[in-house]
A and B are shown apart, each in its own frame.
Chain A
Amino acid sequence: MLDATSVGAGVVATRVGACLVLTLGEDLAEPALERARSLVVEELRGPRVDAVVFDLSALLYLDSREFTELRSLARMTGMLGARTIFVGFRPGIIVHLMRLDVDITGMHVALGLNEALQALGIVAGEPDARHAP
């Protein structure tokens, strides 16, 4: 069902129906951010994209500048007509971001990919808690 379309600079873009799942790597150094930006622009030019999910479950490092860039990217996808959800923030990253006192107003976040796809109305039913990461 999942069909990987694009891999590069540790960023993977996968289409699930009208939803684009952007899976980021361990960090958001400039090549990764740049790659994510161009993927978003590319994919949103193509067949209809209703929503973009940013999957951060592999992300180990995030500083405040990278966080700001990420939010800008999310605002950009919003302006291109797609609902935007973040998933997979690791507890360690969250604690770090709290210390940096970042602004999260207006951010849509779900616990994991399953919850995000549910919220977007793409997947029905509860995920099995035993298989949670």
Chain B
Amino acid sequence: MERQQVNHYAIDEILEKFDLSKADLDRVRAAAPFLKQGLGEHIEDFYDWMSHLREFSIFFDSNPGTLERVKKMQKAHWTTFLDANIDDAWFAARRHIGAVHAHIDLPNDIYFAAMSKSGKLLVDRLRGAHGEIREPEATADALMKLVFLDAFIVIDEIARINREKISASTKALLEMSTPVTPIWEGILLLPLVGILDSVRTQDIMDKTLGKIAETRARVFVMDISGVSAMDTAVANQLMKITKATQLMGCETIVSGLSPAIARTLVELGVSVGEVRTTATLRDSFELALKAVGLDPRAMAPRG
């Protein structure tokens, strides 16, 4: 999935969306020297507040060095925040924070509570400026709007990473559900489990044809004892698969037909054509060995 590149046109658009005017950013920058002075204290206040949260110990007790490192990163973050130089690097830095938080699985309530607290601490400090800041109320407004933008970029990145995780695990599940395996020279096996719809059939066809080409298989044994429902649609999907393998010079033998399925197929008038079918996987395997020129009876157990 492509990372969104925030170009200049998009930056202006997003600043407008969050109602951050040039004047607002100027006000933040004007207040920066004053607020930066108190950054060290600000961070101590912040972690003092955090240490009273139940979750604090989960993230910080295991390694004392973690707290020091995180305080340093916080200082760097608020420094760039107060510089209010909203460019690609600004967005990239916040996306990085999102990636780190996604990696440690920081709960959203902690993150938002923390951002809210940080914003308030900055505004409180501003209100205690006593004349050093020109437009304290307007600057406080600008700070809060910027906090929201900052938090949005971080959360957006966390959401994107979580979406990617879900789609990766869905893909992995699909891979695991169709294991086309070579079980002998020239023989492939697929134990089919679950539903067989057109999407799955497409996936099976792609995998099977690929494996046939890769292993030069001459027989493909498809065991359907795990297929949940047999009706005309499912039967048609099965026939499609056997037809496709035929065009690769590979014969498909279908095993795992229960008496119930056999009766259903007869009642539905489904023609299996020349496709060989058996009740047990063992019987299909025997047919497959014969098809690749081996005599199963000659493979006697060692005496």
Contacts and interface: CB of A to CB of B under 8 A. Distances in A.
Interface of A: 86-87, 89, 91, 94-95, 97-98, 104-105, 107, 109-112, 115-116, 127, 129, 132-133
Given A129-B215, A129-B216, A132-B213, A94 B249 contact: no
Interface stretch (B126-134, B238-246, B294-302): B238-246
B30 interface: no
A95 B243 contact: no
B97 interface: no
Contacts of A116: 249
Contacts of B247: 86, 89, 94, 97, 104, 107, 109
A89 B79 CA distance: 63
Nearest to A103: B243
Given A89-B247, A95-B205, A97-B247, A132 B216 contact: yes
B216 A94 contact: no
A112 B249 CA distance: 8
B216 A127 contact: yes
B269 interface: no
B27 interface: no
B206 A91 contact: yes
B249 A115 contact: yes
B248 A94 contact: yes
Tell me what chain B mostly uses at the interface: helix, strand, loop, or mixed.
helix
A42 B215 CA distance: 37
Tell me what chain A mostly uses at the interface: helix, strand, loop, or mixed.
mixed
A87 B205 contact: no
A73 to B, nearest CB: 17
Nearest to B236: A101
9 contacts: A86-B247, A89-B247, A94-B205, A95-B205, A95-B209, A98-B243, A104-B246, A110-B249, A129-B216
Interface string B179-222: 00000000000000000000000100110011011111010000
B198 to A, nearest CB: 10
A91 B249 contact: no
A133 to B, nearest CB: 8
B246 A111 contact: no
Contact of A111 (B205, B210, B218, B273): B218
A133 B215 CA distance: 11
B154 interface: no
Contacts of B209: 91, 94-95
A47 to B, nearest CB: 27
Contacts of A94: 205, 209, 244, 247-248
A87 B212 CA distance: 13
A132 B244 contact: no
Nearest to B250: A111
Contact of B216 (A86, A104, A111): A111
B248 A109 contact: yes
B244 A95 contact: yes
Contacts of A133: 213
Contact of B205 (A98, A109, A110, A127): A98
B210 A91 contact: yes
Contacts of B212: 111
Nearest to B213: A91
Nearest to B208: A91
Given A87-B249, A109-B246, A110-B249, 11 more contacts: A91-B210, A95-B202, A95-B209, A104-B243, A104-B246, A109-B248, A111-B213, A111-B218, A111-B248, A129-B216, A132-B213
Contacts of A86: 247
